[in-house]
Every structure is written in C-alpha cells, then in structure tokens.
Amino acid sequence: MSEEHIFILTNGQKIPVIINNRRGAHNVTLRPKIGKNPEIHISKPWMTSTSFVLKFLESKRKWVEKVFDAAPQKEEIKPGMTIEFLGRNVKLMHDGGLRGNCYTNEEKTILCIGGGADMFERRVRDFVKEELLQEIKIIIKTTPREYWPRHITLRDTSSRWGSCSATGNVSFSWRLAFAPYEVMRYVVMHELSHRKHMDHSKEFWANVSELYGFGVERAKRWLSQNGQSLQRYF
C-alpha cells in the first residue's frame, strides 16, 4: 500500500512523492529517482505517521535538491552517435530492413539496430540490458558456487545500484552498463558478498575485497563520485 504526495523544489518543479509501508522496516528511507519521470520514493515502518515522514523529507531538502540539481541532462539516442557501455565505445547504426540487432564487427564497436526508426531508442535500451545481464552471469560464474544467486533481476534505480535479499535473489540497476567495466564488476561482487554477510561489517568488506581483488577501493570511489553520470541516457 502506498500514498502519493508532491514535493516542490525551490525552482518550482513538482516531484511526486511515493510513500510505502514496509513490514520489518525500522527506519525511514529516502530514494530520489532522477530521469525523465523524477520521483521520490520513501519507505517507512507501518507505525510511522505520514506527517512525520513528510517533515523528515523537508529536513532533508538541501540533500534532495542537490540530487536533482546534479542530475545530468538526458542525451537523446540517435543513429550515428557513439555511446559507452560495458567498457566499449559503440557506434549505433540503424537498418530498417533488419529484423534483429547485431554487432557488425568482431570488436563489437559497431551495433546495427533493426526495426522502425520510432523504436530505435527502445531497442538500443533493451539490447544494452540484455548484454549487461549476460555479462553479469559470466562474472558470477567466476566466483565459488556458494555465492551464486537464486535469481537475477535488472531494475531502473538511481540511488541503489544493487541489492541482495535474504532468500538469495539479487538485483542490479541496468544503468551499471554505462559504468566502467571494473566498476560494474565491483557492484556484482558487492551484492554476491551479501550472500554470506547481510550487513556491511568488516567481514563483509573483507569478503568483497577477496572476490574483487586489487582496486576495489578505486571502483567504490568512482561510483560514489560519478554515479549520477549513469543516468545520462534514456
């Protein structure tokens, strides 16, 4: 069950606020979602009042405004442009007579998208998602079997790059496809480490370092400093 409200930024922009009651939640959690349809998602314990949540949101106004102000301008996906995903600079081409999508060279740096021109952007997005999912599965198989998740899901999140449930399911933001490859791999190892440690204890971080190897802090720092840039497309 959810409630909807409106949060008005200083510049006058009206942002929908969606409040969800979560069983087992102990704290109020804010998650601004940037993009074409910006929203603020709030999770709260059942017994916490809506008025308290809205006051809490207002107390975080400076941070919320900063998140939306820092959101990158969207770049329209068009034939002929080059985008970076999965660590490669890929030039996008269009062939209306092609039914599917395919790389046209061995280096996978030229991608031809088929179908109607009006479906070009959506088909690029779907192709990127599928490529990311396959790459995540490859990375997972480099780890010991006890880390392998039961199920993998891709989501469109702007403030949470991955999650791992107590039942062994993991999810990732599909926008990780636009991060440097080693940064994406860091998030995968981060969530797999939650298969053994459902916290952020010293043991957890040691586990992440063991799975990832040298450079884990650099990848973590890049995501913290540049995560907003992963929202520039779509």
Q: What is the pLDDT of residue 209?
A: 97
The whole-number average pLDDT for the span 191-209 is 96
The whole-number average pLDDT for the span 224-231 is 87
Containing H/E element for 151? strand 151-155
Residue 139 confidence class, pLDDT cut points 50, 70, 90: very high
Q: What is the pLDDT of residue 191?
A: 98
Determine the longest span between alpha carbons in the chain, in angstroms.
58
CA distance 193 to 27: 23
Residue 75 confidence class, pLDDT cut points 50, 70, 90: confident
Q: What is the pLDDT of residue 110?
A: 98
| Angle subtended at Cα 201 by Cα 200 and Cα 204, rounded to the nearest 5 degrees | 75
Buried b (16+ CB within 10 A) or exposed e, 121-146: bebbbebbeebbbebbeebbeebeee
CA distance 195 to 147: 6
The whole-number average pLDDT for the span 25-50 is 87
Q: What is the pLDDT of residue 68?
A: 85
CA distance 181 to 173: 14
Residue 133 has pLDDT above 70, yes or no: yes
Q: What is the pLDDT of residue 1?
A: 59
Buried b (16+ CB within 10 A) or exposed e, 87-113: eeebebebeeeeeebeeeeeeeeebbb
Give the residue, 225 or 90, on which the prediction is more confident.
90
Torsion of CA 82, 84, 85, 87, to 10 degrees: 130
Per-chain mean pLDDT for the chain: 92
Backbone CA torsion sign across 187, 190, 194, 195: positive
Residue 73 has pLDDT above 80, yes or no: no
Q: What is the pLDDT of residue 2?
A: 63
CA distance 88 to 97: 26
Ordered by where they begin, the domains of the chain are: 2-69 (no CATH), 82-231 (3.30.2010.10)
Lowest mean pLDDT among 3-7, 59-63, 72-76: 72-76
Q: What order do you get walking across the sheet with 169-173 strand by strand?
A: 151-155, 169-173, 162-164
C-alpha to C-alpha distances, 233 to 8, 47, 70, 181, 221, nearest whole angstrom? 25, 39, 15, 17, 22
What is the phi/psi pair of residue 14, to 5°? -100, 120
pTM of the model as a whole: 0.76
Q: What is the pLDDT of residue 159?
A: 65
